[in-house]
Amino acid sequence: MKKTKKSPIKKTEEMITLETGAVRSATVAGESGKHPARYDLLNPTMLRRLAETFGEGSSKYGDHNWWNGLDEKCLLNHALAHVFAWMRGDRSEDHIAHAIWNLGAIIHFEETRPELLNLQSAIKELGFYLSPEERKAWLRHKMSTAKTA
């Protein structure tokens, strides 16, 4: 009797198979669970293009200038501007690598300088992304506090 090999992939969540044959987790980013870091799976092409973006920034602003701190609103604005430029067909620079760089800086500051990350509190303060009922209550509160000020 022939022994069958067990799959090296441990199925811990629902998986989907794409048309290309690739398998991917069916859960969306932000759902539960931590996964082990797999540095062996980093893509050299992606890393090269990201390293070139670091090199461009170093030439313009100096090595490690960004470590001084950049506001997440600024970083997100630049990331989205690069994504939209790429979507318009602009290939004058590596917009995707620039977008990844800006999002990577946010990731860095999440772990090292969380005080720079104030966009969520600003969004809450401005009342964005509220349900219609929450928005009405928020507006009533804002109007009542404006009258007493």
The full set of domain ranges for the chain reads 42-116, 118-149
The Cα–Cα gap between 103 and 78 comes to: 9
Of all residues in the chain, the percent with pLDDT exceeding 90 is 44
Give the other-Cβ count within 10 Å of 91's Cβ: 9
For residue 107, give both structure tokens. 């990731």
Q: What is the pLDDT of residues 74-122, one digit of tens each?
A: 899 999 999 999 999 999 999 999 999 999 999 999 989 988 888 777 6
Q: What is the pLDDT of residues 115-141, one digit of tens each?
A: 888 877 767 666 666 778 877 887 888
Q: First and final CA of the chain: distance in angstroms?
A: 84
The residue ranking higher by pLDDT, 87 or 31, is: 87
State yes or no: pLDDT of 11 exceeds 90. no
Of 54, 99, 55, nearest in space to 77 by CA: 99
pTM above 0.85, yes or no: no
